[in-house]
Amino acid sequence: MSLPEASITIIVVLALLPIIYYGTLPIRAYSYFRGKTFLDRRSKVAKLVSEYNDTAKYVVSVRRRQTFEIGETTKDTYSYPTRDECQVFRVDPPRDGALGYGMKQMVNCSRSIVDGVAHDPVKYLTKYKYSGFRADRMGLFTLSRLRDDLGVLEYATHILARDEEKILTSMGVPRYIMKHFTPTLVGKLGIVPQYCDLPYPVFVFEYRSPAGRSVDRATVTLNTALLDSLISEVSRRIQTGRSAAEERSRMTQKLRDQIKRRDDYTCQICGVSQHTSPNLLLEVDHIIPVSRGGHSVPENLQTLCWRCNRRKSNKVLTGVR
């Protein structure tokens, strides 16, 4: 054999190796899956597999609850997952006019809002005009349900990944099986495949310049951490709202008359009085505003003429002292 002949032989053998490797794969896999080692180990992990499948089934049922339905929407503002995506995610297509799991809501807004959202998403998500949900009791209920279900899904996903690894480790599957026959392996083990993505709803705040040349975006994912912040903000607002209503309801006519009499029908800021101007409109004002936790008690009330009262509420609104 001359040198060129020898190198040709080597090249032919090298070329044949992968053909032999891939060509015999199905046969080797066939005998592996029928072999005693596989069958013995499979019966050992059977309990783990059935636990895995139970968890997976539960995940599907939680996702089917479709708890995330907020606000009234139009098809233009919200993009819905396609029917195919619904199948992948194993969820029902959302009802018209409701947001659902895995949804993406586009919000067109100004550039400064895009910046604001990046720094303080809670501030903007609690506004109805951006998120489509109200910071009221119903909104709180929706958020809490969504948070609970996503929490379950997060945990279940973690459990599923852990169990899957445990199953495969104790099976001691050869590498070529893992590499080329994963679907067969999963089927033979009786594992019901589970898609492990988490269906966090997403809000995309977007600013487009008039000519459409520049686009700024802030993407907000409603994960459990953000939902917790939203929930505490909404509950805080509900609390404040309730006490404010209570404080206002305590402002009876009798209390108003009592305060005016105490202040001798005189504005406590400018000193104008009904004694000199009989038609003067006097109002009873909360010294510490109700919106800042002030109470409807005589110590926190004063008589003001309408001009001074209006000037004061403007200052409170703009935060100037």
Looking at the Cβ atoms of 67 and 266, the one nearer to Zn ion is 266
Looking at the Cβ atoms of 227 and 308, the one nearer to Zn ion is 308
How near is the Cβ of 267 to Zn ion at its closest, in Å?
3
Looking at the Cβ atoms of 34 and 262, the one nearer to Zn ion is 262
Looking at the Cβ atoms of 159 and 269, the one nearer to Zn ion is 269
Site for Zn ion in 177-216 (CB under 5 A): none
Backbone angles phi, psi at 268, to 5 degrees: -80, -5
Q: How far is CA 186 from CA 132, 168, 177, in A?
A: 42, 10, 11
With beta carbons less than 8 A apart as the criterion, state whether 189 and 32 touch. Answer: no
Q: Does 267 bind Zn ion (CB under 5 A)?
A: yes
In the sheet with 202-208, reading across from the earlier edge strand, the strands are: 78-79, 104-108, 202-208, 215-221
Q: In this chain, which stretch among 17-25, 114-122, 242-250, 269-277 interacts with Zn ion, using CB under 5 A?
A: 269-277
Site for Zn ion in 298-317 (CB under 5 A): 305, 308
Expressed in angstroms, the distance from the first to the final Cα of the chain is 103
Looking at the Cβ atoms of 90 and 312, the one nearer to Zn ion is 312
With beta carbons less than 8 A apart as the criterion, state whether 103 and 202 touch. Answer: yes
Q: In this chain, which stretch among 56-64, 192-200, 242-250, 268-276 interacts with Zn ion, using CB under 5 A?
A: 268-276
- The span from the CA of 196 to the CA of 51, in Å, is 16
Q: How far is CA 252 from CA 117, 259, 284, 285, 313, in A?
A: 42, 11, 11, 13, 20
Tell me the site size for Zn ion, rule CB under 5 A: 5
Q: In this chain, which stretch among 67-75, 191-199, 266-274, 312-320 interacts with Zn ion, using CB under 5 A?
A: 266-274
Site for Zn ion in 29-48 (CB under 5 A): none
Q: Which residue in the set 16, 192, 270, 287 belongs to the binding site for Zn ion (CB under 5 A)?
A: 270
Looking at the Cβ atoms of 122 and 272, the one nearer to Zn ion is 272
How near is the Cβ of 259 to Zn ion at its closest, in Å?
15
How near is the Cβ of 296 to Zn ion at its closest, in Å?
21
Angle, helices 182-189/3-34, rounded to nearest 10 degrees: 20
How near is the Cβ of 317 to Zn ion at its closest, in Å?
18
User: C-alpha angle with apex 30: 27 to 34, nearest 5 degrees?
Assistant: 140
Q: Does 281 bind Zn ion (CB under 5 A)?
A: no
How near is the Cβ of 308 to Zn ion at its closest, in Å?
3
Backbone angles phi, psi at 86, to 5 degrees: -60, -35
Q: Which residue in the set 86, 122, 269, 280 belongs to the binding site for Zn ion (CB under 5 A)?
A: 269
Q: In this chain, which stretch among 104-112, 137-145, 219-227, 261-269 interacts with Zn ion, using CB under 5 A?
A: 261-269
* 123, β-bridge pairs: none
* 218, β-bridge pairs: 205
Q: In this chain, which stretch among 29-37, 119-127, 183-191, 297-305 interacts with Zn ion, using CB under 5 A?
A: 297-305
- The span from the CA of 130 to the CA of 116, in Å, is 12
Q: Does 70 bind Zn ion (CB under 5 A)?
A: no
Tokens 């209920």 sit on residue? 141
DSSP letter for each residue of 115-180? HHHHH-HHHHHTSHHHHS--SSHHHHHHHHHHHHHHHHHHHHHHHHHHHHHHHHHHHT--HHHHHH
Q: In this chain, which stretch among 65-73, 129-137, 138-146, 259-267 interacts with Zn ion, using CB under 5 A?
A: 259-267
Looking at the Cβ atoms of 46 and 270, the one nearer to Zn ion is 270
Q: What is the DSSP letter of 274?
A: T
Query: What does the block give as tokens for 137?
Result: 């009791």
Binding region for Zn ion (CB under 5 A)? 267, 269-270, 305, 308
